[in-house]
Amino acid sequence: MSFVCNENIQIAYEKSDEVMNNIQYEPDKAVDSTAVIEYVKEHYCPKIELYTRSFAGLQYASASYDDCGAMMRVNNQGETLSATIVLNSDMPAAFQRYALMQQIGHLITLPPDVRLNPDNYNVSKHIYYDLSQITEEDLENNYYLMREQVANIFALRVLMPNRQFYQKMRQLGSVSAVAQFFGLTEDAVISRMMIGA
């Protein structure tokens, strides 16, 4: 299966390039999420609050949030954008690291004309690592899925910058070793290979 990349997805490439061209990171260290957050605070969202808590037992109607990576509440009703991100502390560190950057991806790629309810949290229930599972038709017919895809691509490209990623693939030689270096899962590394440069 080939990876779907339509014009709606291009914003993920543009925003991830922007972030990575403007933060400092060392070639032999994984990208520091704090540096990314500081850049986003300075240029997009001046107030970002970050929390971790257990999602065990959280439910909405009949849906359980136990397997969700994160939730985010965004207030974009006034002059100043603000966000509260809550990571699921029951998830492994590698998953939390990815979920945080995926939420930042949602925040930085949010269309300016979208008005969100600042009283509601949006839950990332569908964090797809295997990007080939989503067809172009899926993206065209499901706005929510397309927004998830945009945020996922942003997260993958920021946490595994292009040059560093391919250098580590050559140097370390295995998906497992690369995942360990970046502090992510093997599934995330495989999906990063799919999206290319």
Model confidence pLDDT, tens digit, residues 44-92? 989 999 999 998 887 766 667 777 888 888 887 777 788 999 999 998 9
3-7, 137-141, 186-190: lowest mean pLDDT where? 3-7
Across the chain, mean pLDDT equals 84
Taking a C-beta distance cutoff of 8 angstroms, is the pair 197, 162 a contact? yes
How many Å apart are CA 54 and CA 65, to the nearest integer? 10
The predicted structure's pLDDT at residue 123: 74
pLDDT digits (tens, 9 = 90+) for 6-36: 777 899 999 999 999 999 888 899 999 999 9
Distance spanning both ends of the chain, measured CA to CA: 18
Backbone angles phi, psi at 84, to 5 degrees: -120, 120
Structure tokens at 187: 């599934």
What's 119's DSSP letter?
Answer: T
Q: What is the pLDDT of residues 80-106, one digit of tens each?
A: 788 999 999 998 999 899 999 999 999
The pTM (predicted TM-score) of the whole model is 0.88
Statement: residue 145 has pLDDT above 90 = no
Q: pLDDT-based confidence at 1, cuts 50/70/90?
A: very low
Tokens standing for residue 171 = 């140097």
Q: What's the pLDDT score for residue 38?
A: 96
Q: Let me know: does 86 contact 71? Beta carbons within 8 Å.
A: yes
- Domain chopping of the chain, boundaries: 10-195
Distance of alpha carbon 173 from alpha carbon 136, whole angstroms: 32
What is the DSSP pairing of strand 59-60 with strand 122-124? unpaired
Give the per-residue pLDDT at 5: 61
Backbone phi, then psi, for 76, in 5-degree steps? -120, 30
d(CA 89, CA 69): 9
pLDDT (tens digit, 9 = 90+) per residue, 154-173? 999 999 999 999 999 999 98
The partner residues of 47 in beta bridges, in order of sequence, read 82
